[in-house]
């Protein structure tokens, strides 16, 4: 859960929303506080102007006609004022000051101050000319009076505190709402990926026959799914190939096994003469050798499939190699009345891996031994970069000629001895590819078949 995309997205959305809310609250709070203080200062200023109006010049002597100002007289949380003349004499001060002085702020602007009773407050002051009484038209004196008014800011602080509380509550609510919205949105957005995950979870070796659905997926995921589909197709293909291979292998091994069992069953069914036993043993031997060759070829094919094959090139004397390979097929060729001619030069040398080349040559000779019509001739001839295994035919039917190097291709028609079909030549081509050699097969003008091995 912690690592899920849904969780991560939701957490980051919530974190961003929380940070934004916090910053917004700070700004709002600051703006609100400033507005409140201004309003407060304006009130103080009003008070100061009113109090300054109480000072007048009477017969050139300034005097202060104090009216009853209960706010400035009470003992609990009182307000304060003090009035000075221009020469610094105190004209009047509120009873709450008890003879102490008020600090001055800049004119027309408020300042934070610690009130005489220790409370936090604001102070403003005004400076204006004294009023002159007893005139038909009011005049102003040349003397200036300065009035400072201070008041405790408890109200402002209280208001701000409740504002903060409201803002906190609102922020929390918003955050909750945003989180829920984020989780829902992310879940909805990722629903297609969950469907995809379920689809992928259902995949196993037996259910590779369909591709993953890309419709309705977010654009970001489509290439990933397309890639997965591509890989699936490849896995499918290789599984099918493997299945076919296994079926073919089992087929190729079952027939000689049937021969072994039948020969042994029939031979053991009664007492026999030594000559009959001899014949049975010879037959079992032949079959066993064919099976061994088949197994070796299958193993070589599997190794070719498994990955890079080690190639250790040296100078290989072709004639000697062909001769030693022929040893394996001499007996069978003689039984079928086939002649063999090794026409290669003694000094013809090819730079290649002798063991791998042996696989190529052996299988070509085996093929020729199996398929050449009785009484025919197998010839190996050519030069150091190009030699051929030529037999006297019959030719390969043109329709199957392009397929004879395919794995488990069964060249029906005359070229079948019932075993190792489609393995030997597939192996020849595979090994030749590894060695960088070209192997081709063609029907020759004399009615025979030539398999040509040449340097690329």
Is residue 242 involved in binding another protein (CB under 8 A)?
A: no
* Interstrand relation of 120-132 and 55-58 (parallel, antiparallel or unpaired): parallel
Distance (Å, whole) CA 107 – CA 404: 110
Question: Which is closer to another protein, CB of 175 or CB of 253?
Answer: 253
Is residue 266 involved in binding another protein (CB under 8 A)?
A: yes
Is residue 263 involved in binding another protein (CB under 8 A)?
A: yes
The minimum distance between CB 273 and another protein, in angstroms, equals 13
Inter-residue long-range contacts of 300-309, CB under 8 Å, 24+ positions, other chains counted = 300/359, 300/427, 300/430, 300/431, 301/407, 301/423, 301/426, 301/427, 301/430, 304/427, 304/430, 304/431, 304/434, 309/356, 309/431, 309/434
Contact 95, 67 (CB under 8 A): no
Distance (Å, whole) CA 440 – CA 382: 14
CB atoms within 10 A of CB 35: 10
Is residue 180 involved in binding another protein (CB under 8 A)?
A: no
Question: Which is closer to another protein, CB of 357 or CB of 404?
Answer: 404
Q: Which residues in the 419-438 window bind another protein by CB under 8 A?
A: 419
SS3 23: helix
Is residue 239 involved in binding another protein (CB under 8 A)?
A: no
Is residue 417 involved in binding another protein (CB under 8 A)?
A: yes
CB atoms within 10 A of CB 230: 11
Is residue 416 involved in binding another protein (CB under 8 A)?
A: yes
Is residue 230 involved in binding another protein (CB under 8 A)?
A: no
The minimum distance between CB 297 and another protein, in angstroms, equals 17
Is residue 335 involved in binding another protein (CB under 8 A)?
A: no
Is residue 255 involved in binding another protein (CB under 8 A)?
A: yes
What does the H/E/C string look like for 175-215? HHHHHHHHHHHHHHHCHHHHHHHHHHHCCCCCCCCCCCCCC
Stretch that binds another protein, among 89-97, 178-186, 191-199, 252-260 (CB under 8 A): 252-260
* Interstrand relation of 111-114 and 377-382 (parallel, antiparallel or unpaired): unpaired
H/E stretch holding 382: strand 377-382
Is residue 68 involved in binding another protein (CB under 8 A)?
A: no
Contact 81, 123 (CB under 8 A): no
The minimum distance between CB 394 and another protein, in angstroms, equals 13
The minimum distance between CB 295 and another protein, in angstroms, equals 16
Is residue 273 involved in binding another protein (CB under 8 A)?
A: no
Stretch that binds another protein, among 80-88, 129-137, 256-264, 398-406 (CB under 8 A): 256-264
One of 261, 278, 334, 403 touching another protein (CB under 8 A): 261
Within the chain, what is the greatest distance between any pair of CA atoms?
A: 169
Q: Which of 425, 428, 450 is nearest to 356 (CA)?
A: 428
The minimum distance between CB 424 and another protein, in angstroms, equals 16
Size of interface with another protein, in residues (CB under 8 A): 30
Stretch that binds another protein, among 52-60, 224-232, 260-268, 366-374 (CB under 8 A): 260-268
The minimum distance between CB 261 and another protein, in angstroms, equals 5
Four-CA torsion 268, 269, 270, 274, nearest 10 degrees: -30
Stretch that binds another protein, among 203-211, 250-258, 341-349, 425-433 (CB under 8 A): 250-258
Binding site for another protein (CB under 8 A): 247, 250-252, 254-263, 265-267, 269-270, 283, 286-287, 410, 412-414, 416-419
């Amino acid at each position: 859960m912690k690592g899920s995309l849904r969780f991560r997205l939701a957490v980051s959305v919530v974190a961003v929303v929380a940070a934004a809310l916090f910053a917004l609250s700070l700004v709002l709070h600051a703006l609100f506080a400033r507005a409140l203080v201004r309003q407060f200062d304006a009130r103080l200023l009003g008070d100061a102007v009113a109090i300054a109006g109480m000072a007048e010049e009477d017969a050139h002597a300034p005097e202060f006609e104090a009216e009853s100002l209960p706010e400035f007289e009470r003992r609990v949380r009182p307000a304060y004022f003090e009035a000075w003349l221009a020469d610094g004499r105190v004209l009047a001060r509120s009873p709450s000051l008890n003879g102490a002085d008020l600090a001055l702020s800049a004119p027309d602007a408020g300042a934070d101050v610690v009130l005489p009773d220790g409370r936090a407050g604001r102070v403003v002051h005004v400076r204006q000319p004294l009023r002159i009484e007893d005139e038909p038209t009011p005049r102003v004196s040349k003397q200036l009076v300065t009035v400072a008014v201070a008041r405790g800011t408890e109200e402002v602080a209280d208001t701000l505190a409740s504002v903060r509380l409201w803002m906190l509550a609102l922020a929390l609510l918003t955050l909750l709402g945003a989180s829920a919205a984020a989780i829902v949105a992310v879940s909805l957005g990722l629903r297609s990926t969950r469907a995809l995950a379920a689809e992928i979870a259902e995949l196993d070796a037996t259910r590779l026959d369909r591709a993953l659905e890309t419709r309705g997926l977010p654009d970001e995921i489509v290439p990933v799914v397309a890639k997965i589909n591509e890989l699936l197709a490849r896995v499918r293909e290789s599984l099918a190939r493997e299945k076919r291979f296994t079926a073919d292998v089992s087929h190729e091994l079952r027939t000689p096994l049937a021969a072994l069992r039948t020969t042994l069953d029939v031979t053991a069914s009664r007492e026999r003469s030594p000559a009959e036993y001899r014949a049975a043993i010879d037959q079992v031997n032949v079959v066993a050798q064919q099976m061994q060759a088949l197994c070796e070829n299958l193993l070589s094919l599997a190794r070719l499939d498994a990955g890079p094959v080690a190639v250790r090139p040296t100078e290989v004397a072709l004639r000697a190699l062909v001769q030693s390979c022929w040893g394996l097929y001499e007996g069978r060729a003689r039984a079928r009345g086939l002649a063999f001619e090794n026409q290669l030069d003694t000094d013809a040398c090819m730079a290649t891996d002798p063991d791998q080349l042996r696989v190529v040559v052996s299988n070509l000779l085996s093929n020729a031994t199996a398929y050449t019509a009785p009484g025919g001739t197998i010839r190996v001839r050519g030069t150091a970069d190009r030699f051929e295994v030529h037999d006297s035919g019959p030719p390969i039917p043109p329709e199957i000629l392009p397929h004879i190097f395919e794995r488990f291709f069964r060249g029906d028609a005359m070229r079948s001895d019932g075993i190792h079909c489609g393995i030997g030549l597939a192996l020849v081509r595979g090994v030749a590819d590894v060695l960088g050699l070209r192997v081709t097969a063609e029907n020759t003008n004399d009615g025979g078949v030539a398999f040509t091995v040449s340097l690329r």
